[in-house]
Amino acid sequence: MLRRLVNQRLTAAAQEICGLLEGTMSEYEEELCSLKEENERHRRLLDAVFNPEVRLQRADTQNTDGHGEAAAAETLFAADEMKIDAKRRRIMKELGCVRI
């Protein structure tokens, strides 16, 4: 009789432990999936910072001496650089990085 009671208690404890273990493993799997998604998002942000996509636009000018086109191109290039720097700062801030 005592043996049967001990056996029942041990079986119940083992089942409870298995249930808790399954729950913990499920939580860890969910956390792992979430962390993988977050890491992928951070990877894309870092790619955007370190490999910026630059798009240059052709400036239509009325000046025929060529100086107007060069000035317009420089202005567009400077504007693109400012946009890239602003995007880089925003992403670095979002990632919590400090620029040295």
- Answer whether 82's CB lies under 8 Å from 96's CB: no
In order of 3, 6, 27, 36, the CA distances from 49 in angstroms are: 68, 63, 33, 20
Q: Is pLDDT of 5 > 60?
A: yes
Confidence of residue 10 (pLDDT cuts 50, 70, 90): very high
Q: Which of 100, 98, 90 is nearest to 45 (CA)?
A: 90
Provide the residue ranges of all domains of the chain, joining segments of one domain with +.
Answer: 1-51, 56-100
* Per-residue pLDDT tens over the stretch 39-77: 998 888 888 878 877 665 655 545 455 556 666 666 666
Q: Which pTM was predicted?
A: 0.46
Is residue 78 classed exposed, middle or buried when 0-12, 13-18 and 19+ CB atoms within 10 A define those classes? exposed
State the Cα–Cα distance between residues 41 and 35, nearest whole angstrom: 10
Percent of the chain whose predicted confidence (pLDDT) is above 90: 39
Mean pLDDT of 76-86: 73
At 50, the amino acid letter reads F
| Residues 52, 88 contacting (CB under 8 angstroms) | yes
